[in-house]
Chains A and B, each alone.
Chain A
């Protein structure tokens, strides 16, 4: 079945450590996105990518990094520079050749907790 897979579902990190969240899609979508969700804050855009080897900062990119070496994969690294990394992280993908009317598809999310 086509879809987006995020792993792991739960992740624990010690302060000062970098951690990488995985996002893989087999929908052949060009665009991929990372969002952060905090209670009462909705979903905020961290990074997005429209094409392999290219990505752009979203609204809250500080303390995060991404790569897009393959069309199917868009991993997010939460670095030690991120001051408050505990949150729920959602990855999404979308075709862009069909315009803005197409929906974005979401993974099931990763809950990151700093201990």
Chain B
């Protein structure tokens, strides 16, 4: 079974600073995708960024980027120039063709952004 581990239950960052959220996963499959979702206080799940396992180049979306280390099965999220609106729960998720393509989530990291 695939497992996703987020080892940081809570993180804090000052506005305009950079923060990195950690995620590791365990799988025996070769074809899979990795995602970071954000859940603000409204509890709406919002896709932040995605990474294909076959691509060596790390994905980037504006202030959000990932550090994908396939051999180490690590998929960290870096948020640059943090903003107050970045405060939320962040979930790392794994997806493959198993279980109807369902996302398999980590337990989440709560990010606090201080002025």
Q: Please give the residue numbers on chain A whose beta carbons come within 8 Å of chain B beta carbons, in ascending order.
A: 31, 33, 35, 40-45, 48-50, 56, 58, 88, 90, 92, 94, 96, 100-101, 103-104, 106, 108-109
CB 8 Å contact bits of B40-59 with A (1 = contact, 0 = none): 00111101001010000000
List 22 interface pairs A-B (beta carbons < 8 Å), by A numbering.
Answer: A31-B100, A31-B101, A33-B103, A40-B9, A40-B108, A42-B6, A42-B107, A49-B100, A50-B100, A50-B101, A58-B99, A90-B45, A92-B45, A92-B103, A94-B101, A100-B101, A101-B50, A106-B45, A108-B42, A108-B43, A108-B44, A109-B43
Q: Is B96 an interface residue (CB 8 A)?
A: yes
Main secondary structure of the interface of A (DSSP, over half): strand
Chain B interface bracket (under 10, 10 to 19, 20 to 34, 35 or more): 20 to 34
